[in-house]
Amino acid sequence: MTVAALASQDILKPHLEIDGGEKLSGELRVSGAKNSALVLMTASLLTEDPLTLRNVPPLTDIGGMTEILSSLGVKVQRSGEVVRLHADQMTGAEPPYELVNGLRASFFAIGPLLARMGHARVPLPGGCRIGARPVVEHIRGLKALGAVVNVEHGIIAASIPGREQRLKGAEIVLDCPSVGATETILMAAALARGTSVISNAAQEPEVQDLANLLIAMGANISGAGGPTITVEGVDQLKGCDYMVIPDRIEAGTFLLAAAITRSKLRVAPVIPEHLSAVLQKLRDCGCKLDIDQEGITITPGEIRGIDITTQPFPGFPTDLQAPFMALLATAQGTSVITEKIYENRMQHVAELQRMGASIRVQSNTAVVEGVSALSGAPVNGTDLRASAAMVLAALVATGKSQVSGLDHLDRGYADIEAKLGRVGAKLIRRTP
């Protein structure tokens, strides 16, 4: 298929039409963290009491998790950014395949279901196609806690043997600091008998947020946010009212929107410690940052090329690799970006090249030669963060761009066109 044919095909999809070159000003508001909220919702399965979550972003993924939990008998009420969940009358321990297939976070239900019900059958998860994200670590952790786990016909079946049907504390050393595995084991261990120690645990803010929720529910957890987490199992957990942390990836994306358009902007609310590596790279490439109690004001200078390597937290997050590449495509000099988390996360390069970016890719490394200007074009976001990168590039490109792949974008950015429109961007959603 020719480039022209591909372009016309993209325009026929729902897309954002963006007029580039506009300066931005004002304040961009950051929603609650998607990757926290999804997991916190599954924690409702651990208690018979009502659980209220606040600052939950209105995203398609949140809607998907609502459907999954509802299919298990959880009563879910959504009102704006407040979600109330009540799992007092569970009707099943096997979410349907058609709901789970499109949402990777649905797999987080397996730990709470197992701990609460004594058994679970969860289809292998779907989500963005950015590389292998195996659930081997999750399974190893659940087995260490005493579960019998089998994988058959694309479904993971787990059960707790014996009359008591209760998991038992264990020492678990993760081969890699997987966020998902750490969270799965953390929820399962909260109701296990005895002490569990998770070594080489993920240190991401979302893990800390889950631990803080579980503690508010009555769990006994220490060390979350560090490489070793200790969990003293309790007999039961209670409900609570809990505020989800701000989304650090959305905050980072908005800071990059300011940088790529060379615009002074305030981004809030932000927890700066959650973005330390990103903030340092923004300073390195020529941005001035003023941090106050609630947010960050960014004033871009002359943007220079820098090198970035993605790493687990507290290193540079893989979820901001594509958006930062869009910025560096407009920088002076050469940048080298190395992706060390996912092996298939350079699909946005071809789309940036369609806008005039000069990027060479070898294996998991991209060499970016900054150009003086990007030009508007029809482009497609191939995953959630690639879609965000396309939006950023379109904001600074000369002329009009059409960014498709909105099904991905809507999974992680709540009402992004309205937010960007309020600070001066010219963009509109087209649904043919």
Model pLDDT for residues 7-51, shown as the tens digit of each residue: 455 556 899 999 999 999 999 999 999 999 999 999 999 999 999
Q: Please state, in angstroms and rounded to a whole number, the distance separating the CA atoms of residues 61 and 324.
A: 24
pLDDT score for 163: 83
The pLDDT of 177-191, averaged and rounded, is: 95
The pLDDT of 180-189, averaged and rounded, is: 96
User: Token pair for residue 273?
Assistant: 């410690």
Q: What residue type is assigned to position 298 of the chain? A: I
**Domain 3-31+246-430 is of which CATH architecture?**
Alpha-beta prism (3.65)
User: Token pair for residue 344?
Assistant: 């298939």
pLDDT score for 94: 82
pLDDT score for 250: 97
Identify which has the larger pLDDT, 77 or 164.
77
pLDDT score for 130: 36
What tens digit of pLDDT does each residue of 399-424 get? 999 999 999 999 889 999 999 999 99
Percent of the chain exceeding pLDDT 70 equals 94
Q: How confident is the model at residue 187 (pLDDT cuts 50, 70, 90)?
A: very high
Helix H or strand E segment including 241: strand 241-243
Q: What separation in angstroms does the CA of 263 have from each of 130, 335, 400?
A: 31, 21, 19
User: Token pair for residue 204?
Assistant: 């991401």
Every domain of the chain with CATH number 3.65.10.10 lies at 3-31+246-430, 34-243
Catalytic residue list: 128
pLDDT score for 190: 98
The pLDDT of 360-369, averaged and rounded, is: 95
How many Å separate Cα 93 from the centre of its chain?
A: 25
The pLDDT of 338-355, averaged and rounded, is: 90
Q: How confident is the model at residue 134 (pLDDT cuts 50, 70, 90)?
A: low
pLDDT score for 128: 41
Least confident piece of the model among 96-105, 129-138, 217-226, 384-393: 129-138
pLDDT score for 11: 55
Q: Peptide bond preceding 314: is omega within 30 degrees of 0, i.e. cis?
A: yes
What residues contact residue 2 under an 8 Å CB cut-off, 6+ apart? none
The pLDDT of 119-130, averaged and rounded, is: 67
| HSE-CB for 103 with a 13 A CA cutoff | 31
The pLDDT of 320-343, averaged and rounded, is: 95
366, with CB counted inside 10 A (0-12, 13-18, 19+), is buried
Q: Please state, in angstroms and rounded to a whole number, the distance separating the CA atoms of residues 15 and 351.
A: 15
**Domain 34-243 is of which CATH architecture?**
Alpha-beta prism (3.65)
- Report the mean per-residue pLDDT for the chain: 92
Q: How confident is the model at residue 103 (pLDDT cuts 50, 70, 90)?
A: confident
pLDDT exceeds 90 at position 92: no
The pLDDT of 260-266, averaged and rounded, is: 98
pLDDT score for 188: 97
Q: Please state, in angstroms and rounded to a whole number, the distance separating the CA atoms of residues 76 and 41.
A: 10
pLDDT score for 240: 98
Identify which has the larger pLDDT, 231 or 347.
231
Range picked from 100-109, 153-162, 288-297 for highest mean pLDDT: 288-297
The pLDDT of 137-148, averaged and rounded, is: 94
pLDDT score for 96: 80
Give the full edge-to-edge strand order of the sheet including 241-243.
Answer: 75-79, 82-86, 50-54, 241-243
**Closest C-alpha to 168, from 197, 136, 199, 139:** 197
| HSE-CB for 340 with a 13 A CA cutoff | 13
**Closest C-alpha to 115, from 214, 253, 222:** 214
By the 8 A CB rule, do 200 and 223 touch?
A: no
By the 8 A CB rule, do 256 and 392 touch?
A: yes
pLDDT score for 165: 87
Specify the residue for token string 């799965």.
184
pLDDT score for 123: 83
75, with CB counted inside 10 A (0-12, 13-18, 19+), is middle
Q: How many helical (H) and strand (E) elements, i.e. helices and strands, does the chain have?
A: 15, 23
pLDDT score for 155: 85
